[in-house]
Structure 1
Amino acid sequence: MSQKYERIMVAIDGSYESELAFEKGVNVALRNDAELLLTHVIDTRALQSVATFDTYIYEKLEKEAKDVLTDYENQARKQGLEKVRQIIEFGNPKSLLARDIPDKEEVDLIMVGATGLNTFERLLIGSSSEYIMRHAKVDLLVVRDKSKTL
């Protein structure tokens, strides 16, 4: 039995690992004639103590995210992908990427880069990809290696 994906969400956080997830996401979307959702979540939990009422910081982060996602969108379109959308949200990345955005957007595959955290760091702050794996209702692909293609 073959699974055909229709709406693929790639979590983009600016890391090398999320770039790998993007590259594989484009390939999977092309093969499935699927829509690719380039998704970035601005973590407001980290900002609350620094900039409670400073909207400039939020606007600056949103513009930087938009610029990065626009670059990825242009790359995807150059590779022949027609259905590409950007999603930028504010809040808790773990819950937004695991449940809220996939539910709202009817995502059927989530793609994330593997974390660069070591065991101790995961104990202290947790891994987003690990959280998503435990809470997502749809298929999840954790991208670890550039050399392997899908």
Structure 2
Amino acid sequence: MSQKYERILVAIDGSYESELAFQKGVNVALRNDAELLLTHVIDTRALQSVATFDTYIYEKLEQEAKDVLSDYEKQARDAGLTKVKQIIEFGNPKSLLARDIPDKEKADLIMVGATGLNTFERLLIGSSSEYILRHAKVDLLVVRDSQKVF
């Protein structure tokens, strides 16, 4: 059975691992003639205690996300993709990336970078990729750095 992906969501969080997911996402999108959904979620849980009413921080984070996604979009288009969309959401990255955004955008593949967390950190705060794996309704590809040994 051959699977052709049409809408590939790549989670971009600024980490090296998410850059690897982006690079692989471009290649998969090219092979499948798919749309690439460059997605960044601004985690509002961490911001609530710091800046409950300070919209400047939200606006600054949103502008930084737009700048990063615009750079990735340019790279994707330079590589030959014609269907690229930027998505920026505010909220809990785990639930938004696992269900809400893929449902809304009709994504059929989610690509994320492998976590850089160690075992203790995963125990305390949990891994986004692990959460997405348990809750996503579509295929998930976790991209790892082949040079890294854990």
Q: Give the TM interval when normalised to the shorter protein.
A: over 0.9
* Distance in 2 separating the partners of 1:101 and 1:15: 20
The residue aligned with 2:6 is 6
- Residues 7 and 35, structure 1, Cα contact 8 Å, conserved in 2: yes
2:49 counterpart of 1:49? yes
- Residues 62 and 88, structure 1, Cα contact 8 Å, conserved in 2: yes
4+ residue runs over 4 A deviation? none
Structure 1 residue 146 displacement after superposition: 5.5
Q: Deviations over 1:35-93 (max 9, x none)?
A: 00000000000000000000000000000000000000000000000000000000000
* Distance in 1 separating the partners of 2:83 and 2:108: 15
* Distance in 1 separating the partners of 2:86 and 2:51: 25
- For residue 133 of structure 1, give the secondary structure of its aligned residue in structure 2: helix
The residue aligned with 2:65 is 65
* Distance in 2 separating the partners of 1:5 and 1:68: 25
2:78 counterpart of 1:78? yes
The residue aligned with 1:125 is 125
Q: TM-score, normalised to structure 2's length?
A: 0.97
Structure 1 residue 145 displacement after superposition: 2.6
- For residue 123 of structure 1, give the secondary structure of its aligned residue in structure 2: helix
Task: State the aligned residue count.
Answer: 147
Structure 1 residue 29 displacement after superposition: 0.2
The residue type equivalent to 1:135 in the other structure is H
Distance 1:115 1:58, change over 3 A: same
The residue aligned with 2:37 is 37
* Distance in 2 separating the partners of 1:127 and 1:21: 16
Structure 1 residue 129 displacement after superposition: 0.4
- Residues 20 and 146, structure 1, Cα contact 8 Å, conserved in 2: no
Distance 1:46 1:86, change over 3 A: same
* Distance in 2 separating the partners of 1:48 and 1:82: 37
